[in-house]
Amino acid sequence: MLDADTSLVAEFERQASATPDVVAVASDDRCFTYATLNAAANRIARAIRRRTPSSVAPVALLLGQDAITVAAIMGVLKTGRIYARLDPTIPNQRTAQMLEDAEADVLVTDNPHLSQARALARGDLTILNCDEIDAGSDDGNLGVSIDGARPALILFTSGSTGRPKGVLHSHRNIVIETRNYARDVQPSPGDALSLCTSMSFAMSVRNLYAALLHGATLCPYDLAGLGFGGLASWLERHAISVLYMPPTAFRSFGDCLANEAFFPRIRVLRIAGEPLSGEDIRRHRHHFRSDCMVYHGLGPTEAFTVLRTWMRLDACDVVGKVPIGMPLADKDVLLMDESGLPAADGEIGQIVVRSEYLALEYWRQPALTAAAFARDADGGGRLYRTGDLGMRLPDGTMMHMGRRDALVKIRGFRVELSEIELALRALDAVRTAVVEARTREDGEKVLVAFVVPAEGSERSVGALRRALASRLPDYMIPATFMWMEQLPTLPNGKINRHELPPAPLFRPELDAAYVPPRTPTETQVAGIWSEILSFPDIGINDPFLELGGDSLQATRVLVRIADTFRVELRPRDLFESPTVAQLSALIDQRRTDR
């Protein structure tokens, strides 16, 4: 049982001493046992202290989704400092904002990301290259005294002001979160836990520390870069027993699997972060053991897991949405109406969490902290207003009823619509814009931008997408852009979102003129795109992204292409050959080369 008053460092070092020869982290480029991971973390910690011996500032990490990142995380924690992991796949402008807001004085990186780190540091930060640390340097434990109340990490989320906001958590909060998750999942040295979500997000925290503090093996997988094509074989190769995916990714993964695919080693499916339906589970459950357990719940970055539910895969009889379950023992959940009073039974209210184990603050943003958190007048910790709406069912479980503000989940990521609107309005070609989350026929949420162009500007979807791509991560770029002469307003001058038109079910207005398919391959590829993107008349020069395609739909396209043409393509092939004409030429070339 983990001790809530101790630190992540003490618990990890205890585990490393108990299971030194067990594999702690296994990625495709390297593996660490608990002993070698502890040693690598110690070398990184000592290198940080040599370069900034008296500093207590946060340490930023610019590293990939691999084993060395885990060593660097533990290395920073061993110094007693806070880490902020920056995702190298996010545009540099946004990453630079996070780096500035973190107020870090050290940027830890490796050879593959060194040039990007130098560009971000601009000579103002100390850069530590993990690949240049002497493997023969002192690798003993540092012996730094760290208590559970000390801050441990900053997790950046979308921000309503147009800048990401940092959520600060203590060692104690993460230990408690890990302990709660471990009570349910019961990880042990015989388990391998997947890490398919970026280590920059709260979704990664549970599996990362549940593995490292219980002697299990952590297996990072770069789902964004590698896609779903090789995931099935990766699960088998690493003998994954606990798999976590947001529901959107789980649906796409299931759609990519051959009907006979089966994963007998997986005993726990954690499918959380977005709404989940009973049909999602039933449609794909034949790929897993009948006694496999499904874990679903609500876990905002500011509070980690608040509510969760368990069910056996073969016992799922839920019609419609799966409830988000019951509160954890150390999280009291209140439902409050718009007046701040308790919502009546059967009524919808805002989910408010009361606990001792909430985020310490929004990093260096006291006004935001005061708006979201409050002291509990009745004792028992602090209150956090989640912005999520819930309704308590007769059996005491909670049903998620959406968001009360403009924060939505897109492909498992928290997105503040106002941040995208601010980015659009900052463009010279845009006079004003509003962004909505709409639900496609397949149940997935997508972003639709309604744009009023600036006078005299060119109406170019491609130009808008390219401009946003330098400012926002791909999951925050709208799938569809609709040109408007003006936005509908209410009498008070505010945007009337109810009067915004429905998203089109036809080919959007693109830079390229419509050119129909000319060859059998182009006809088949255009038909696949049309089916997956849900509108007809796709031209051979239409870029996939400008048609609203995202990475999950790209995966479905590649699976259909493999079935149709018996040609294996990777996600990057579609993005390097982004039109029907280019992709068809690549397919014909691959077929000729066989």
Domain ranges of the chain: 1-172, 407-499, 520-593
Superfamily of domain 1-172: ANL, N-terminal domain (3.40.50.12780)
Beta bridge partners of 437: 447
Question: What is the side-by-side order of every strand in the sheet holding 480-483?
Answer: 430-439, 445-453, 480-483
Q: Where are the alpha helices (DSSP H) in 434-550?
A: 461-469, 520-533
From residue 559, give the alpha-carbon distance in Å to each of 69, 197, 250, 563, 583: 31, 21, 15, 6, 14
| CA dihedral sign, ordered 56, 141, 149, 129 | positive
Structure tokens at 513: 């003129």
140-155: per-residue pLDDT in tens? 999 999 999 999 999 9
**Is residue 50 scored above 80 in pLDDT?**
yes
pLDDT at 408: 81
Structure letter (DSSP) for residue 258: -
3-class DSSP assignment, residue 157: strand
pLDDT at 504: 67
| CA dihedral sign, ordered 523, 507, 551, 233 | negative
Residue 249 contacts residue 274 (beta carbons within 8 Å): no
Structure letter (DSSP) for residue 502: P
Q: Which of 94, 272, 63 is nearest to 166 (CA)?
A: 94
CATH class of 407-499: alpha beta
Structure tokens at 8: 């992540």
| CA dihedral sign, ordered 442, 446, 450, 456 | negative
119-140: per-residue pLDDT in tens? 999 988 999 999 999 999 999 9
Whole-angstrom Cα distance, residue 16 to residue 24?
A: 9
pTM to 2 decimal places: 0.83
pLDDT at 535: 77
CATH class of 520-593: mainly alpha
Count of C-beta atoms within a 10 Å radius of residue 426 = 13
pLDDT at 176: 96
Whole-angstrom Cα distance, residue 386 to residue 384?
A: 6
According to the per-residue pLDDT averaged within each range, which of 7-21, 149-163, 490-504, 544-558 is highest?
A: 7-21
Whole-angstrom Cα distance, residue 52 to residue 56?
A: 9
| CA dihedral sign, ordered 313, 269, 22, 77 | negative
Length of the chain: 594
353-398: per-residue pLDDT in tens? 999 999 999 999 999 999 999 998 777 789 999 999 999 999 999 9
Q: What is the pLDDT of the chain when averaged over all its residues?
A: 90
